[in-house]
Amino acid sequence: MKKKIFNFYCKLLAFLAKNYLKKHKVFVIWVNWSVGKTTARMIIYQTLSKFINNKKIYTSSKNFNWELWLSLSIFKIEEFEPSFFCSIKTFFQTIIKLLFSRQPYDIIILEYGIDRPLEMEFLLEIIKPNIGVFTAIDSVHSLQFGSPNEIAKEEKKMIENTVEFAFLNVDDWYAMSLIKNLEIDYLTYQTEWYDSTGDISFENEKFSYEENKLLVNFDLKIKEKNINVTTNLIWKAHYGYIWVSLAILDIINYREWKQSIFEKFEDIFLDYKLQAGRLSVFDGVDGSIIFDSTYNSSPLSVKKILNTVHNIKKDLFSDRDLRIILWDMRELWDLTESDHRKVAGYVYSLADKLFLVWESMNNYLKDELEKIWFDMSLIYSFDDSIALWNFVKQELKRDKRKKLIIAKGSQNTIFLEEAVKILLKNPEDSDKLTRQSSWWKNKKKAWFHKGVGGLGITHPGAVFGW
C-alpha cells in the first residue's frame, strides 16, 4: 500500500514538473550513464555560469536524480524528508510555483539516474532534453538489471530521445554503439588519454603543486580548435567533461549570437568546486596528501583514480610512498566477487601499502592479489572505519617518509569519510567531506553506537568530534 501511494505521489509531482518546464520554455541539458554523471553535471553548470551572464542557469546542489528527486530539482526544492507532513508541504510548494512563479531559470542541467527497468521511460515523460551527455557504464545497480548490458539498454533511451545534440564518450563501448542509430548531431569526447579517435581530446598534461594547491595544465582540442587549460580538476575524465561544457557553451552562444566562443580563447584558467568525495585533495597529518574519493565506488572509477594519482606521483612526488585505502564497492550484486577481484590488476604495481576495509575487499580482492603474487605483507585488513583510522594514523607517525593517500569506496555502513576526517591536517576541512549533513551525522551516530566490528563504541561523538 505504501509503495502504491509513493508511486502515485511520484507521478503527480512528475506531471506538475512536466508542465512547469513547458510553461517556462526551459532549455534542458541532461547528463546520464553510471560513472561520473554528477561530476559532469557540476562542471557543465559552473562553466556555463562563469561565461553566460544574460541567462539564469540552475542545477541542484544535491545529488537529486531519480524519479522523485528529479521533479524536486526542477522545482528548485533542495530539501525533502520522507514523511507525511513534508510530502504534503512539498506538494503545495510545487502547485504554488507552477501557478505563480516567474521564470525560474532559462537553462537547467539535470542528472538522470536509474536503478531498475522502465525507470528511464518514466523520467523521459517529464522532459526530453535539448542536449544529452553520456558518461560511462559500469557494474552498478546490477541486481535490478542483471548485467551492465541490460543497464545500457535502459540508459540509451536517453540519447535516443535527445532533441538536438548528444555528447558520447568514445572510451565507452555502450555509448559508441549508439552512433549508427542517432538522428541528431553529436560529438565524441575522451576520458582516458589523448591518443584517441574522439572529436574532443586532450594532450600535454602537466601537474603543478604550489602553496598546497594541486593544478594541472593541458591542451584541449575539438576538431581543429585548441585551448590551453589550467584547472584544479586533476582527473582525465574531468578534462573530457570540461571540453564538453565548453562545447555546450559554444552551442548556446552560437544559437544567440551566431559566434563561436573559441574565437575569444587561447588559454583559460578554470577553478571548480565539485561535490564532496569526488577526488578532492587535502593536506593530511604528518606531511601526507590525501586524495579523497569516498562518495561512491565502482571498478572503472577505482581504475581511473589510481591512474590519476599514479601520474601525479610520477610527475611531482616520485619520492613519496603511495598508501591506497579501498573499501567495498556496493550495488554490484551478482558481480560483487568478480568486480572486486578485477581491481587487483589496478593496485598490483601501484600500492606501497594497501589497506582493505569490509568483507568483499578482504574476501575477494585480497585473495586475488595473493594469486598474482602480490607481497601480502603490504596488505592490512580491517572490519570497520574506526579500526582503520586508528591504525593508519599511528602508522603515519611511525613511518616518517612523506606519503600520498588514496581513499576510495562506496557509502552506507562503512562511512570511511570519517577515517579521512581523522587524517586531515586542518580540522576545518572536515566540512568539505561527503555526508556531513545533520541527517547523515545522526545516522552515523546510530550506526556506531551499535558497536561496529565488535569494538563496542558507545561514544562516537568523542571519536569523530560530533
At 124-176, the pLDDT tens digits run 888 899 999 988 776 554 445 556 566 666 667 777 889 999 999 888 887 78
What pLDDT is attached to residue 125? 87
Q: Where are the alpha helices (DSSP H) in 102-147?
A: 119-126, 142-145
pTM for this entry: 0.82
Domains in the chain: ranges and CATH: 2-270 (3.40.1190.10), 280-436 (3.90.190.20)
What is the overall mean pLDDT for the chain?
Answer: 84
What pLDDT is attached to residue 453? 43
Please state whether beta strands 131-134 and 267-270 pair in parallel, antiparallel, or not at all (unpaired). unpaired
What pLDDT is attached to residue 322? 95
What pLDDT is attached to residue 389? 77
Work out the pLDDT band at 36, boundaries 50, 70, 90: confident
Work out the pLDDT band at 463, boundaries 50, 70, 90: very low
Better-predicted residue by pLDDT, 7 or 323: 323
Q: Give the separation between CA 162 and CA 184, rounded to whole angstroms.
A: 8
What pLDDT is attached to residue 63? 66
Q: Are 218 and 236 in contact (CB under 8 A)?
A: no
What pLDDT is attached to residue 1? 58
**250 pLDDT more than 80:** yes
What pLDDT is attached to residue 253? 86
Work out the pLDDT band at 344, boundaries 50, 70, 90: very high
For residue 348, the SS3 value is: coil
What pLDDT is attached to residue 114? 66
Task: Quick: pLDDT tens for 359-410.
Answer: 999 999 999 999 999 999 999 998 877 788 778 888 877 887 889 999 998 8
Region of poorest pLDDT, from 2-16, 110-124, 174-188, 260-274: 110-124
What pLDDT is attached to residue 232? 93
Task: Quick: pLDDT tens for 87-125.
Answer: 899 999 999 999 998 999 999 999 876 666 677 788 888
**12 pLDDT more than 70:** yes
Counting residues of the chain whose pLDDT is more than 70, the rounded percentage is: 88
CA distances from 417 to 123, 385, 408, 411 (A): 32, 8, 9, 9
**65 pLDDT more than 60:** no
Beta bridge partners of 284: 424
**326 pLDDT more than 80:** yes
What pLDDT is attached to residue 194? 59
What pLDDT is attached to residue 139? 54
Burial class (CB in 10 A: 0-12, 13-18, 19+), 238: buried
**309 pLDDT more than 70:** yes
Ranges of beta strands (E only) in 232-279 are: 267-270
What pLDDT is attached to residue 455? 39
Q: Are 227 and 265 in contact (CB under 8 A)?
A: yes
What pLDDT is attached to residue 142? 46
Return all residues near 155 (Cβ < 8 A) that are at least 6 apart: 32, 33, 34, 114, 120, 134, 137, 174
